[in-house]
Structure formats: structure tokens, C-alpha cells
Amino acid sequence: MAIYFSGRFPSIYVYVMSVYPNILELKPNQLCTYYLTSSYLYYKEDLNVLTDADYDLLCNRLYQKYDEVTHPHKKLIDRESLGAGTGYGLEQYPTRVKMAALCWYNEWSEEDNATS
């Protein structure tokens, strides 16, 4: 799935997200994107794509790679929360994170329904 942010900000981010990522293959900035979108879905929308085990792995990997992250939303992430395996403390989510999360969930849901 590709999510393009354009309109008033035509050259802002392009997120390319697979429907279900291989957490072990994600680069540091991708870990940040999946952490934010997964946390938004779980804590704000009561939805999820990742299993609990994969979310824990995601938090652990992002904790380990935190110093390598250059993502513009890194400042939203508390490293201690990563160590605890949670995104509960995230209070503000940029609109682009919310929209990416919902698009990701919808695509995952469609794929999941097609294989059921």
C-alpha cells in the first residue's frame, strides 16, 4: 500500500507500507511509522493490524534503533514507553499519521476478508 500526502504540501512524505510488515526487515524510520500508526489504531480507534507479539517486537526494535531514527515525528515518541512495549502515552497524532493508520487498517481488513 502506498500513501501519498499531497495537496497543500505536494512534496511531503510518501509512506510505502506493506499490509503486514516483516518487523525484522524494517529500517529505523519505518519502525517509527509502524509504531505511530499501530499505536494510533490500538489506543485511539480500538483497532489493530499487528499481533501483540509483533507490536512488542516493533517496540523492542525501535528502542534498540532509536538513535538511528531521523523520522520527523521521532519527537513524539518516548523511549521509555518503547522499553515498556507501549504507545499509551502518545497523546497527539499528526493528521497524516491518523490517515495513514486508517488506510493501512482498511487495506489489511480488505485483504483479511478476501482470504477468509
Domain count, the chain: 1
- The tens-digit pLDDT sequence of the chain (116 residues) is 444 444 444 444 445 455 889 999 999 999 999 999 999 999 999 999 999 999 999 999 999 999 999 999 999 999 999 999 999 999 899 999 999 999 999 999 887 777 76
Q: Which domain covers residue 80, as residue numbers?
A: 2-115
Question: Looking at the chain, how many residues does it have?
Answer: 116
